[in-house]
């Protein structure tokens, strides 16, 4: 039987994910979108390795599964909500909506709610072993952090992208989290082109987009991921 140290390695890694999510949320509320993205990415790295370590060490446990979902909803649910909340405070609100302007930013927390629903569905859905049904929460969090950096650092975008567009995007992305849209995973069972052609196409085009647009390109990469999934996968 694994000793107590080995048994707690995966949960310790998951806790690091949670810790990163808390810091990312704080940074987001401060309007520091680059650091918020940094800690979201670090959280995603820990999220990748906690499950892997549990499988390698053969110490998977019910508490680990629950802790993982709780950590994910902070890092990939609350943190992007905090980013969008701060973003609402910075961008223009159309004049016709000025009378509710102080309430509109709170719509950002729909992302947290739908992320929690997404994670709960994932834990119960046996179809999602090799692919996803609906938008994965890490992809959603990376989309919002990249978009916030683009809007915050590009005055041309911030002048055009008002609160109404942001609200509509919040609703759309929230619905995608719990949608029945099949989306491919980047897990490789083998390296053959025939089995992984879509993944290779996505990775190559994503690399080109990131080289061209840097951090701003990450939001475009996530949109490309959604489009490619919609084009190549039939409804489950």
Question: Taking the model in full, what pTM does it have?
Answer: 0.88
Between 3 and 110, name the one with better pLDDT. Answer: 110
Q: For residue 80, what are the domain limits?
A: 4-182
Q: Residue 128 falls within a domain, yes or no?
A: yes
Scored b (16 or more CB within 10 A) or e, 179-204 reads bebbbbeeeeeeeeeeebeebeebee
Residue 129 pLDDT: 65
Least Cα distance to 137 among 216, 78, 205 occurs for 78
- What would the pLDDT profile of 184-227 be if each residue is shown by its tens digit? 888 777 777 777 888 899 999 999 999 988 888 899 999 999 99
Between 157 and 96, the more confident residue is: 96
Query: Number of structural domains, the chain?
Result: 1
On whether residue 90 sits in a domain, the answer given is yes
CB 56 within 8 A of CB 111: no
- Over residues 90-117, the mean pLDDT reads 88
Spatial contact of 151 and 161, defined as CB atoms under 8 Å apart: yes
Mean predicted lDDT score pLDDT of the chain:
87
CA–CA gap between residue 140 and residue 76 (Å, rounded): 7
Summarised one tens digit per residue, pLDDT across range 119-143 is: 988 887 777 666 788 899 999 999 9
Residue 113 or residue 54, greater confidence: 113
Asked if the structure places residue 102 within a domain, the reply is: yes
Whether the per-residue pLDDT at 60 is higher than 60: the answer is: yes
Query: pLDDT at residue 105 above 60?
Result: yes
CATH number, domain with residue 156: 1.20.120.1760
pLDDT at 154: 78
Higher pLDDT, 216 or 36: 36
Residue 229 lies in a domain: no
Provide mean pLDDT across the span 162-170: 91
Q: What is the per-residue pLDDT for 158? A: 65
Q: Is the pLDDT of residue 235 over 50?
A: no
26 within some domain: yes
pLDDT at residue 96, as a whole number: 77
Asked whether the beta carbons of 157 and 223 are under 8 A apart, the reply is: no
> 218 lies in a domain?
no
Residue-level pLDDT at 5: 73
Kindly state whether residue 101 falls inside one of the protein's structural domains. Answer: yes
Domain-embedded: residue 205 = no
């Amino acid at each position: 039987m694994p000793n107590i140290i080995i048994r707690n390695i995966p949960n310790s890694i998951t806790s690091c994910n949670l810790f990163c999510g808390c810091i990312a949320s704080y940074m987001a509320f401060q309007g520091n979108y680059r650091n918020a993205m940094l800690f979201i990415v670090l959280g995603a790295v820990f999220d990748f390795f906690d499950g892997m370590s549990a499988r390698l060490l053969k110490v998977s446990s019910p508490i680990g599964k629950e802790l993982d979902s709780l950590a994910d909803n902070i890092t990939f649910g609350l943190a992007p909500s905090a980013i969008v909340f701060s973003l609402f405070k910075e961008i223009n609100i159309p004049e016709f909506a000025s009378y509710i302007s102080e309430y509109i930013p709170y719509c950002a927390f729909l992302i947290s709610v739908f992320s929690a629903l997404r994670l709960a569905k994932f834990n119960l859905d046996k179809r999602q072993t090799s692919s996803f049904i609906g938008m994965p929460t890490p992809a959603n969090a990376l989309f919002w952090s990249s978009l916030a950096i683009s809007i915050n650092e590009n005055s041309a975008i911030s002048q055009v992208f008002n609160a109404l567009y942001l609200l509509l995007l919040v609703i759309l992305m929230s619905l995608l989290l719990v949608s029945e849209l099949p989306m491919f995973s980047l897990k490789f069972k083998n390296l053959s082109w025939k089995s992984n052609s879509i993944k290779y196409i996505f990775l190559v085009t994503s690399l080109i987009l990131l080289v061209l647009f840097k951090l701003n390109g990450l939001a475009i990469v996530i949109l490309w991921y959604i489009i490619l999934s919609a084009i190549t996968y039939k409804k489950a």
